[in-house]
Chain A
Amino acid sequence: AQKITQTQPGMFVQEKEAVTLDCTYDTSDPSYGLFWYKQPSSGEMIFLIYQGSYDQQNATEGRYSLNFQKARKSANLVISASQLGDSAMYFCAMSRNTGNQFYFGTGTSLTVIP
Chain B
Amino acid sequence: DTGVSQDPRHKITKRGQNVTFRCDPISEHNRLYWYRQTLGQGPEFLTYFQNEAQLEKSRLLSDRFSAERPKGSFSTLEIQRTEQGDSAMYLCASSLAPGGVVPSYEQYFGPGTRLTVT
Contact = CB atoms under 8 A, between A and B. Distances in A.
Contacts of B41: 106-107
Contact of A45 (B91, B95, B98): B91
Interface in B81-118: 89, 91, 93, 95, 97-98, 104-112, 114
B105 A43 contact: no
A93 B109 CA distance: 13
A98 interface: yes
Interface residues of B, number: 28
Contacts, number: 61
Nearest to A48: B106
Interface in A1-58: 4, 33, 35, 37, 43-47, 50, 52
Q: How large is the interface on A (under 10, 10 to 19, 20 to 34, 35 or more residues)?
A: 20 to 34
Given A99-B31, A99-B97, A102-B33, A91 B108 contact: no
B45 A43 contact: no
A93 B44 CA distance: 11
Contact of A106 (B40, B93, B112): B40
Would you list the 6 A-B pairs with minimal beta carbon distance, nearest first? A104-B42, A45-B109, A99-B105, A33-B105, A91-B42, A104-B43
Interface of B: 31, 33, 40-45, 48, 50, 55-56, 89, 91, 93, 95, 97-98, 104-112, 114
